[in-house]
Amino acid sequence: VGPGSQEGQACWARHGRAASMSRIMRPDDANVAGNVHGGTVLKMIEEAGAIISTRHCNSQNGERCVAALARVERTDFLSPMCIGEVAHVSAEITYTSKHSVEVQVHVMSENILTGTKKLTNKATLWYVPLSLKNVDKVLEVPPVVYSRQEQEEEGRKRYEAQKLERMETKWRNGDIVQPVLNPEPNTVSYSQSSLIHLVGPSDCTLHGFVHGGVTMKLMDEVAGIVAARHCKTNIVTASVDAINFHDKIRKGCVITISGRMTFTSNKSMEIEVLVDADPVVNNFVKRYRAASAFFTYVSLSPEGKSLPVPQLVPETEDEKKRFEEGKGRYLQMKAKRQGQAETQA
């Protein structure tokens, strides 16, 4: 969504290194439960981040560039957004390294009948500036001025942590999701799903590679299919663990978005989503892993209340290993939330 676009007539404001956008949620933004699709929210978050980071990276004289999404930190869906509400997305640059930009984004929903507003999402995104002359060339980022020295130190720690985790994720994401004939219910194979998509011009930036928000929306759709197949109920996105973008996806590629269940708690499901790109018109480039993430979903009754989730039955050693890893992430996040609640109390 951008200034003057037919979809939403977005309104933009810029104050230094911040930007905001507003758009009313329409029926075609809905998921099957009637709320706004999680992928739609992720797409808006990425669009706001891409605009403010591209603006900043071109704020000084030098080679022109476009900011490409490299990573999205964990984002929680704190409250559902309804059709007819207005989404307010605000983005701010909070740290810059030599070759990357950190953008923090907040999403508020507004009931325009009552004026009530609520926070629905918070996310942190990392972008890298790519030269318009050569999109494989990463340029330097203009520095920002911090109001406090502690802000720069805290930002540097976040930068080092995400850089290390992004590399570790790339190393361990070599496997692929293989189909299985006649799988048993509640197994990984029973609910795993894939979507094949030909990347067209409408999916891409003006420079020929896919918008990060387009990829995230497709990933959320596949994760939602996996969750619905597993529990046979309405499902909604509860959170997204870090989304890592390992490589660019160019126009004309065929992408395969694969999802598989990795872990279930009593009331949540963790789904791993992998994106592989196949440059079918280029014999010199092989299929490669472009992105990966973990999505967490919850099961809902027709009245919108949380339901128990059928327990996943891992069969192979790899599935059992991924289940234990998912359990570790679940317990770690649960402890973190409890700690935050105790601090606030």
Domain contains 3: no
pLDDT at position 275 is 96
Cα separation values, 210 from 64, 204, 248, 277, Å? 19, 4, 7, 11
pLDDT at 174: 62
Q: Judge whether 247 counts as a catalytic residue.
A: no
Is residue 2 one of the residues assigned to a domain? no
Same domain, 211 and 105: no
Same domain, 292 and 257: yes
**CA–CA separation, 129 vs 137, rounded Å?**
8
**Residue labelled with tokens 């603006």:** 55
Q: Is residue 58 part of a domain?
A: yes
Looking at residue 339, the DSSP 8-state letter turns out to be H
Give 158-205 pLDDT, tens digit per residue: 999 998 888 777 655 667 787 788 899 999 999 999 999 999 999 998
- Residue 112 CB-density burial (10 A; 0-12 exposed, 13-18 middle, 19+ buried): exposed
**How many of the other CB atoms lie within 10 Å of CB of 186?**
17
Look up residue 306 and give its two tokens: 């949380």
Whether residues 122 and 68 share a domain: the answer is yes
Indicate the DSSP class of residue 311. Answer: P
Domain assignment of residue 215, yes or no:
yes
- Name the catalytic one among 31, 58, 234, 244: 31
User: Residue 5: what pLDDT?
Assistant: 41
CB 239 within 8 A of CB 268: no
- The verdict on residue 285 lying in a domain is yes
Rounded CA gap, 47 and 58, in Å?
17
Which is the catalytic residue, given 29, 220, 241, 276?
220
> Within 10 A of 290 (CB to CB), how many other CB atoms are there?
23
User: Do 227 and 148 belong to one domain?
Assistant: no
Domain, as residue range, for 216: 188-344
Same domain, 226 and 197: yes
How far is the C-alpha of 238 from the C-alpha of 21, rounded, in Å? 23
Q: Where are the alpha helices (DSSP H) in 114-245?
A: 149-172, 188-191, 212-231
Question: Catalytic site residue 276?
Answer: no
Question: Do residues 136 and 240 both lie within one domain?
Answer: no
Domain end (from 167, 199, 227): 167
Q: Is residue 172 a part of any domain in this protein?
A: no
151 and 224 share a domain? Answer: no
Query: Is residue 290 domain-resident?
Result: yes
Closest CA to 63 of 9, 129, 108, 10: 129
Low pLDDT (below 70) residues in the chain: 1-16, 170-174, 345
- CATH of residue 38's domain is 3.10.129.10
Tell whether 151 and 211 lie within a shared domain.
no
**What tokens were used for 14?**
């810029």
Whether 158 and 212 share a structural domain: no
Domain co-membership, 277 together with 134: no
Whether 5 maps to a domain, the answer reads no
* Whether residues 62 and 202 fall in one domain: no
- Residue 10: what pLDDT? 39
Cα-Cα end-to-end distance for the chain: 39
Are residue 149 and residue 221 in the same domain, yes or no? no
pTM: 0.88
Total tally of structural domains belonging to the chain: 2
Q: What is the DSSP letter of 68?
A: E
